[in-house]
Structure 1
Amino acid sequence: MDLFVYGTLRSQKLMAAVAGGTVRCAVPAELSGYGVFPVDGNVVPFIAPQSGATAQGLVYEDLDDQQIARLDLYEGAFGYRVATVDVATAAGPRTVQCYLPPDGAAPGVGAWSLDVWEADHLAPAVLAATELFSYDPLPSFAAARGMWPMIEARAWSKHRAKAAPATRRFVPEPADFQITGARTPQGRFFRFESVDVRHRKFTGGQSDVLVREGFIGTDAAVVLPYDPVRDKVLLVEQARLGPRLRHDANPWMLEPVAGIVDARETPQAAALRECKEEAGVVVTRLEEAGAFYVSPGASTDYFYTYVGLCDLPQTEAYLGGLDDEAEDLRLHPMAFDDALALADSGEIATGPALFLLYWILRHKARLQGAA
C-alpha cells in the first residue's frame, strides 16, 4: 500500500516507531483541497476539506501487511479510517491511501506546524508508540484507546526525567547500567515489566545478568493544602487497594491531595488542578517541597510534592472528588498540631503525608511570616 501522511507521521522517527522499522521510501506530495489544522494547541494535526488549501505531506511506498496492521491500530483506535485520495508529486499525480478523521470531528483554528510539534512532542510520541507496540498480543482498537492516556502519561514521565545532582554518588556513563533483555509487559492501566539488567559494580567490572521486575507508573503531583493564617491542613481520606492487598484491616488512608501528571501537563498545573477537583480548594501559591522516587528498587513512580497555601475556613469534614473518575473522598480540615498527633499515633500511615507535615513543621515560621 502507498500511504499519504500529512501530520506527525511525516516525522521519520515516529513513522519508524509506528511501522516497526525504517520505511523504505518517502516521496514529497501535496493533497489539494485540504488543510491541516491544530487540535488542542499544536498537539494533534487534523486534516479537513478547505477550498483553495493544499496539505503538504509524504507518500510512504509499498507498505507491507504488518506495517499496515500497525498503522491501522495507531490510527484506527481513534476512529481514523483509510480513504483513497489523489495527490500530486514531482513525478506526476498518484492515487494513494490516507487516514482521514472520523465524521463529525472538528478542526482547530490556525495552521499546524510539524517543526513546532517535533520540538516539543516528538520524543514522547516515539516513547508512547514504542510502548503501544510492545504488547503481545497487541490490544484491540477499543483497548488501545482506553490505554492511551496512561501510555502517554508514562511516555511524558520518561521524557521529563532528568538526573538530579551527583556530588557524592556515582556519575555513570550510559554503558554502566544496561537492560539486556525484556519480557512482554503486562497490565492495561498500570504496567509491569520483567527485564534482565547488568550494572557497574563499586569494586569495578560488571555484575552478572540479573532478573529484575518493576512497576511502571507515572509522575504524580502531591499537594498538602495549608492555611498559614489558621495553621490548618487538609487531608484526603479514601479507600486504597495497596493496604487491602497487604491484608491491612483498614484500607482507608489519610493522604495529601494527589494525582497523575497528564501528558503535556506541568507538575505545577497538575497540582493546582487536583486541588480543585479533589478538594474544591483554590491554591494561591505552591511551595515546592521536593521531588523524588517513591520506591526506586521496584517502581518508576516519581512524586513532585508541594505545600499549597490557601484559605481553609471549613471546620467539618466534607465530601469531594469527581464522580466520573469514581473518586469517593472525604476531606478533613484540621489544626496542624492535630495532624501531627495523627502522624505520631500512626493513623497517618502514608509517606507523602508524613513528609509534607514535617516539611511544614520545618518551614512554618517562614510560611506564617509571609501570610
Structure 2
Amino acid sequence: MKQVFLYGTLRHLGLLEIVLGHVPHDRLSAVSLDGYCVARAEGHDFPLILEQSGSSCDGLLLSEVTPAEQARLDYYELGFGYRLLPVEIAGQEALVYFPEPDLWQAAEPWSLKEWSALHWPVTQHSAREIMGLMGQVAPHELGRYFGRIRVRAYSTFLAQSNPSPATLRAAHSIESVTLRGGRLSHIGYFRTDTLRLSHPRYDGTQSDEMEREVFLTGDAALVLPYDPVRDRVLIIEQFRMGPLGRGDPLP
C-alpha cells in the first residue's frame, strides 16, 4: 500500500481534514525525514522541501493511502507546481510532494506554529473552495484562479471575524437560510454560483424556494447617498445574495 510523507501545511490537522475529507488518525504517525529541510517560498507563505545534508524535517506519514485520498491530495498539490517523488523513510518507501525545480526560491526556515497563527484563518476558506472545485475544474487550471480564491477567502474571513452588528436591523442568521442545492455556474477572474434556497421574511414567514445567482468576489466599497438638506439617508433592509456568498453571519 502507498505511503505519503506530509510536511508543511498538511501537518495541520484542520487543513488535512479539508483536503482528505476526514482525518485518518489510525494511519498517521509522526516521523522525521533525514537529509531534507523545509523553507518558506520567497514572497509566499507556503513551504518548500529541499535537500540539505545534516538536516531533518518533521512530518506525518500517512500509510495505506486509498485511491480516493491520493486523488484528493494530488488535486490539492499537483496543480500548484509540485510533483510526487519517492523517498526512503526508516527503510520504507514513501511519496513526497516536491516543488518543481527553480520554480520558487527558498527563504528562511518555515514554521508550522507561525503559519497556523498568521495564515490558517484565511487558508481554511481557500482550501474549502479549492476542494469544492474537484471534479469541476481541472487541477492544472487551479493556479490561474488561486489569486482570486485567496481574495474571496480573505473576504469570508473578515465577514466571520468581524460581523456587522444587528442593533438596528433584524438578526436573521445565515443558519436561517435553507440551501436546497447549488452548482458552479462560472469561474474565471470572478466566480458565479447558482443556488436554490429559501430565507426568512420580515413578516415571520419563510419565502418560497427560489433560484438565484451569487457573484463571488472580494470586498467592495459602498457609496451611501446623503441628502444634506434634510440630513437623511435612506436604507433598505433585505436579504442579499452577496453577503450570503461571502459567508456573512447576518446576510
CA distance in structure 1 between the partners assigned to 2:52 and 2:20 by the alignment: 29
Name the amino acid aligned to 1:22.
V
Name the amino acid aligned to 1:10.
R
Helix, strand or coil at the partner of 2:211: strand
CA distance in structure 1 between the partners assigned to 2:136 and 2:58 by the alignment: 31
182 and 70 in structure 1: CA distance in 2 versus 1, 3 angstrom threshold = same
Could you say which residue in structure 2 is the equivalent of 1:31?
A: 33
1:213 offset after TM fit, Å?
1.7
1:76 offset after TM fit, Å?
1.3
CA distance in structure 2 between the partners assigned to 1:299 and 1:201 by the alignment: 17
Could you say which residue in structure 2 is the equivalent of 1:126?
A: 124
Could you say which residue in structure 2 is the equivalent of 1:255?
A: none
1:179 offset after TM fit, Å?
3.0
CA displacement 1:12-31 (0-9 Å, x = unmatched):
22122222333352110110
5 Å-filtered alignment, 1:224-239, equals none
Could you say which residue in structure 1 is the equivalent of 2:230?
A: none
Contact 2:78/2:140 (<8 A) preserved? no
CA distance in structure 1 between the partners assigned to 2:188 and 2:75 by the alignment: 16
Contact 1:42/1:112 (<8 A) preserved? no
5 Å-filtered alignment, 1:346-365, equals none
Could you say which residue in structure 2 is the equivalent of 1:154?
A: 152
1:110 offset after TM fit, Å?
2.6
Contact 2:87/2:94 (<8 A) preserved? yes
CA displacement 1:85-142 (0-9 Å, x = unmatched):
1224xxxx43211111111245433321112111222232222222223236432343
CA displacement 1:72-92 (0-9 Å, x = unmatched):
22211122111111224xxxx
Contact 1:42/1:113 (<8 A) preserved? no
1:185 offset after TM fit, Å?
4.2
Name the amino acid aligned to 2:10.
L
What is the number of equivalent residue pairs in this alignment?
226
CA distance in structure 1 between the partners assigned to 2:52 and 2:182 by the alignment: 47
1:147 offset after TM fit, Å?
1.2
Contact 2:41/2:106 (<8 A) preserved? yes
CA displacement 1:252-282 (0-9 Å, x = unmatched):
xxxxxxxxxxxxxxxxxxxxxxxxxxxxxxx
1:36 offset after TM fit, Å?
0.8
Could you say which residue in structure 1 is the equivalent of 2:72?
A: 70
Could you say which residue in structure 1 is the equivalent of 2:179?
A: 179
1:149 offset after TM fit, Å?
1.0
CA displacement 1:311-335 (0-9 Å, x = unmatched):
xxxxxxxxxxxxxxxxxxxxxxxxx
Could you say which residue in structure 1 is the equivalent of 2:9?
A: 8
5 Å-filtered alignment, 1:230-249, equals none
Helix, strand or coil at the partner of 1:133: helix
Give the TM-score of the pair, scaled to structure 2: 0.78
1:203 offset after TM fit, Å?
3.0
Could you say which residue in structure 2 is the equivalent of 1:202?
A: 202
In percent, how many aligned pairs have the same letter?
30
Q: Which runs of 5+ in 2 are unaligned?
A: 223-237, 247-251
Contact 2:76/2:131 (<8 A) preserved? no
Q: Which runs of 5+ in 1 are unaligned?
A: 223-294, 303-371
Helix, strand or coil at the partner of 1:77: helix
Could you say which residue in structure 2 is the equivalent of 1:276?
A: none
Name the amino acid aligned to 1:202.
Y
Contact 1:136/1:184 (<8 A) preserved? no
Contact 1:15/1:22 (<8 A) preserved? yes
CA distance in structure 1 between the partners assigned to 2:19 and 2:31 by the alignment: 21
CA distance in structure 2 between the partners assigned to 1:297 and 1:199 by the alignment: 10
Could you say which residue in structure 2 is the equivalent of 1:216?
A: 216
Could you say which residue in structure 2 is the equivalent of 1:96?
A: 94
Could you say which residue in structure 1 is the equivalent of 2:54?
A: 52
CA displacement 1:194-248 (0-9 Å, x = unmatched):
11233333333544433222111122579xxxxxxxxxxxxxxxxxxxxxxxxxx
Give the TM-score of the pair, scaled to structure 1: 0.55
1:180 offset after TM fit, Å?
3.8
Contact 1:37/1:107 (<8 A) preserved? no
1:42 offset after TM fit, Å?
7.0
Contact 2:184/2:193 (<8 A) preserved? yes
220 and 33 in structure 1: CA distance in 2 versus 1, 3 angstrom threshold = farther
